[in-house]
């Protein structure tokens, strides 16, 4: 039997792939009868296909006759247990801290670490770029102690008022994006935040300061930005007007977030203007090129694709649509998506084409294109995402990494380096949580082990200089800690707060209304800095407008009209059918007892004090607990309903209060629905002479009471009136006493109440009938629904609580 190493090398030479790729393909695919397909790229000539297919088939036949020929174990898909997932998650944490700790030790305060020489160097600026880029990764990995330490360090040392030229694009996605994300995660990390957080804070202020340094770049004739600015002096003299498409369009996520949080629209405006300018300059086919002159708007590079120079343009259209709930951006992306599929897609690969003719110009794959399956996953095209991702994985298996440029037509790398890019693992993470296909976890393990095996150095992880022989070079880009390790960690951490499905969140109180944050749905910028949608919305003018509109809506909404309830008196009777009984609960809270308040013999008591409330009926007087009418309620009645009315002074009739209603209201009033106080109190008013007269009093069911008490304020009196005549209420002496602010002598009223009781007014036969009705109601499913909702009064927005009561109880 041939030596294992020699055999794999011979296979690689014969088939025309790397030794590593041959070993990987044989190990994974021989026993699944797919080796031939893996060795035969789809765009070869017929002669090349025949040659490679025959070689692969010979290898497969040999393996079938002699399984030990390749000295390999049979391949089978793995099933990952929770223990396995935890193990790989911990490996990612160790990988991150190996690089991060050595950056702090050997490179800080420089921008990047040199992992071979164990030194630091400045690259994109001179502001400790790796520290800013890695900050939110600390929070994602729950290292909150280090997060807080780094924030304090940055706030005391960061200086962006320096005379250096920086990339507008890179500074935005790495620095502004990193600071915004850290600001929004600071509360979760245990930082002391401002009272106005998330709409204010030191990290937000720092992000705004950096963004303002970039604004001069947008002062062009087209509104599209220059590619470089000086942090002190603006656009350098003689700066080229040629900028790549991504450099024009990759600002809306960060600048839009900044405007929403700070209230300053300038950032969002310049970003949207740049997008609009680019949209107007599409080719007749509707495509965009690779580079454009930002002064005259003419294209200087006409190749159109989804890779480097264009990639994040499409990414930000989707993510801005999600983050800001703006259909305009998604519509733009969908238009591009149709054209990309029409002109660029070939067998689930995406090639570069001419923006004017649509003809293929470069049948290549770029490592930066590996974000595309993840983006397709975000817009719901899972099937296409899977197909394209497996194409890209075939390249990874061929080399152990994805080269910067790969010639698909000839199956070889054209640019052989791999700077530990995150795009491929980003797509795997999105697709895994959309499908829960565990084979994607296995691909993640391959990536993790490849990086650990070939890129690790004594001081960090180095760029792969050549994917053919895995030689390395002395650079570790900041995105390795910002993106690559973060996406790997999130792939193996299904319970991370980033993956929250909206089932929980944190309620924060704002001056413009309450907000819920941390519910999940984070939007990653193109540097993997997560932005909390809820926090951005909370500070936005849109949220303020929605609160005002909701307030107006709940004040004018008439649920009875919405439900087409025209006859309030007979609604529940019709709703429940021809039932002979009314609901009576054996719960003391809902006993339909009433208490009489003698009127004529006590009218002389209702005088004098203007400092007390008009009619205070306390639960100590009536143990069954009748609602208290206070000064605030009286003023509300006067201001809202009686400003222009003159009242008659007819004798005060006997007033009957529904103890059943009062108890229900007490539950409500003891909750936090403060905005409903006057509403519930108003609904206890006596309605008309029929209700004042015990002989004409009709039984009041709990269902009627709840439904009536969920009517909007302006119709409370009409609902309580059988005939719908408000004048009966307004002309009664009850309201005269309301306006004259007389009060009850509690002691005498208590004595009088002892002389009148509800029990003495009900005959023994009525007691028996009532008990039968209670027994019947307990067998009634509809009535049981009412009974179990006795604790419906929970903290909620007023309109939401009303709608829930109607919707849940009546199954509307």
Cβ–Cβ under 8 Å, residues 436 and 379: no
474: left (phi over 0), alpha (psi -120 to 50) or beta: beta
Residue 564 C-alpha from the chain's centroid: 36
Catalytic residue among 112, 254, 337, 423: 423
Distance (Å, whole) CA 297 – CA 294: 5
> To 10 degrees, the CA torsion angle through 675, 677, 678, 684?
150
Cβ–Cβ under 8 Å, residues 239 and 167: no
Secondary structure (DSSP) of 543-604: HHHHHHHHHHHHHH--HHHHTT---HHHHHHHHH-S-S-----SSGGG---EEEE--GGGGG
Cα 449 to Cα 455: distance, rounded to the nearest angstrom: 10
Rounded Cα distance between 685 and 716, Å, is 9
DSSP 507-534: EE--TT--EEE--B-PEE-TT--EE-HH
Between strands 594-597 and 349-350, the pairing is unpaired
Sign of CA dihedral 62, 64, 68, 73: positive
Q: Map residue 84 onto helix, strand or coil.
A: helix
170 is catalytic: yes
**526 labeled binding residue:** yes
Collapse the DSSP code of 383 into the 3-class scheme (helix H, G, I; strand E, B; otherwise coil) and give the result. Answer: helix
Whether 423 is catalytic is yes
Residue showing tokens 């998330």: 198
Q: Is 594 helix (H, G, I), strand (E, B) or coil?
A: strand
**How far is Cα 599 from Cα 733, in angstroms, rounded to an integer?**
10
Concatenated DSSP letters of 180-193: HHHHHHTTTTT---
For residue 57, CA distances in Å to 15, 34, 38, 65, 695 come to 11, 10, 11, 12, 100
Active-site residue among 146, 311, 337, 596? Answer: 311
405: β partners? 366, 415
Quick count: other Cβ atoms within 10 Å of Cβ 412? 17
Please identify which residue in the block is written with the tokens 């502004």: 176
Distance, CA of 243 to CA of 698 (rounded, Å): 80
List 170, 208, 483, 596, catalytic entry:
170
Which residues are known binding-site members? 526
Active site residues: 170, 311, 404, 423
Which residues are known binding-site members for Ca(2+)? 526
């Amino acid at each position: 039997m041939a030596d294992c190493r020699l055999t794999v090398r011979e296979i690689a030479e014969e088939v025309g792939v790397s030794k590593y790729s041959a070993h990987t393909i044989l190990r994974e695919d021989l026993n699944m009868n797919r080796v031939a397909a893996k060795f035969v790229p789809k765009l070869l000539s017929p002669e090349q296909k025949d040659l490679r297919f025959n070689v692969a088939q010979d290898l497969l036949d040999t393996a079938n006759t002699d399984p030990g020929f390749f000295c390999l174990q049979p391949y089978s898909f793995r099933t990952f247990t929770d223990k396995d997932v935890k193990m790989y998650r911990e490996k990612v944490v160790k990988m991150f801290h190996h690089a991060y700790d050595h950056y702090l030790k050997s490179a800080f305060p420089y921008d990047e670490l040199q992992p071979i020489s164990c030194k630091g160097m400045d690259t994109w600026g001179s502001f400790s770029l790796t520290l800013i880029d890695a900050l939110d990764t600390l929070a994602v990995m729950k290292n909150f102690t280090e997060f807080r330490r780094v924030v304090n360090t940055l706030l005391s040392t960061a200086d962006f008022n320096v005379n250096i030229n920086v990339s507008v694009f890179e500074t935005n996605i790495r620095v502004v994006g990193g600071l915004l994300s850290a600001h929004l995660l600071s509360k979760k990390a245990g930082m002391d935040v401002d009272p106005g957080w998330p709409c204010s804070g030191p990290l937000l202020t720092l992000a705004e300061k950096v963004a303002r340094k970039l604004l001069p770049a947008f002062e062009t004739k087209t509104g599209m930005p220059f590619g470089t600015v000086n942090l002190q002096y603006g656009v350098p003299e003689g700066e080229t007007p040629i900028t790549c498409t991504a450099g024009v369009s990759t600002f809306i996520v960060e600048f839009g977030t900044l405007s929403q949080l700070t209230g300053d629209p300038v950032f969002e405006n310049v970003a949207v203007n740049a997008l609009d300018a680019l949209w107007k300059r599409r080719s007749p086919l509707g495509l965009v090129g690779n580079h454009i002159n930002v002064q005259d708007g003419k294209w200087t590079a006409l190749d159109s694709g989804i890779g480097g120079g264009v990639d994040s343009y499409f990414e930000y259209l989707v993510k801005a649509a999600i983050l800001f709930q703006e259909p305009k951006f998604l519509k733009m992306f969908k238009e591009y998506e149709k054209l990309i599929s029409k002109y660029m897609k070939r067998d689930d690969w995406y090639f570069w084409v001419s923006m004017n003719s649509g003809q293929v110009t470069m049948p290549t794959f770029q490592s930066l294109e590996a974000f595309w399956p993840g983006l397709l996953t975000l817009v719901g095209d899972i099937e296409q995402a899977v197909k394209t991702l497996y194409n890209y994985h075939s390249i990874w298996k061929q080399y152990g990494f994805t080269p910067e440029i790969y010639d698909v037509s000839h199956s070889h790398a054209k640019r052989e380096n791999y700077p530990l890019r995150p795009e491929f693992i980003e797509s795997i993470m999105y697709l895994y949580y959309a499908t829960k296909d565990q084979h994607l976890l296995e691909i993640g393990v391959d990536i993790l082990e490849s990086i650990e095996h070939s890129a690790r150095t004594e001081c960090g992880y180095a760029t792969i200089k050549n994917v053919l022989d895995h030689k390395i070079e002395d650079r570790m880009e900041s995105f390795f800690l910002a993106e690559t390790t973060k996406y790997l960690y999130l792939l193996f951490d299904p319970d991370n707060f980033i993956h929250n499905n909206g089932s929980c969140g944190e309620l924060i109180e704002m001056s413009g209304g309450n907000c819920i944050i941390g519910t999940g749905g984070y939007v990653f910028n193109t540097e993997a800095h997560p932005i909390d949608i809820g926090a951005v919305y909370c500070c936005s003018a849109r949220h303020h407008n929605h609160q005002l509109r909701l307030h107006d809506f709940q004040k004018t909404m008439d649920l009875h009209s919405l439900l087409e309830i025209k006859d309030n008196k007979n609604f529940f009777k019709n709703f429940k059918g021809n039932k002979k009984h009314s609901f009576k609960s054996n719960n003391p809270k809902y006993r339909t007892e009433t208490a009489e308040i003698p009127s004529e013999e006590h009218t002389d008591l209702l005088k004098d004090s203007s400092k007390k409330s008009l009619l205070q009926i306390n639960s100590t007087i009536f143990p069954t607990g009748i609602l208290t009418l206070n000064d605030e309620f009286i003023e509300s009645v006067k201001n809202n309903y009686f400003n222009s009315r003159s009242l008659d002074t007819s004798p005060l009739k006997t007033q009957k209060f529904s103890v059943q209603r009062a108890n229900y209201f007490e539950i409500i009033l003891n909750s936090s629905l403060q905005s409903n106080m006057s509403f519930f109190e108003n609904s206890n008013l006596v309605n008309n002479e029929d209700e004042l007269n015990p002989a004409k009093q009709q039984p009041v069911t709990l269902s009627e009471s709840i439904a009536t008490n969920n009517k909007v304020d302006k119709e409370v009196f009409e609902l309580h009136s059988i005939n719908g005549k408000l004048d009966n209420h307004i002309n009664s002496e009850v309201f005269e006493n309301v306006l004259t602010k007389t009060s009850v002598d509690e002691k005498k009223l208590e004595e009088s109440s002892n002389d009148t009781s509800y029990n003495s007014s009900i005959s023994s036969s009525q007691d028996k009938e009532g008990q039968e009705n209670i027994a019947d109601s307990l067998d009634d499913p509809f009535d049981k629904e009412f009974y179990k909702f006795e604790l419906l009064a929970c903290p909620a927005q007023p309109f939401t609580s009303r709608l829930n009561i109607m919707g849940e109880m009546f199954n509307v």
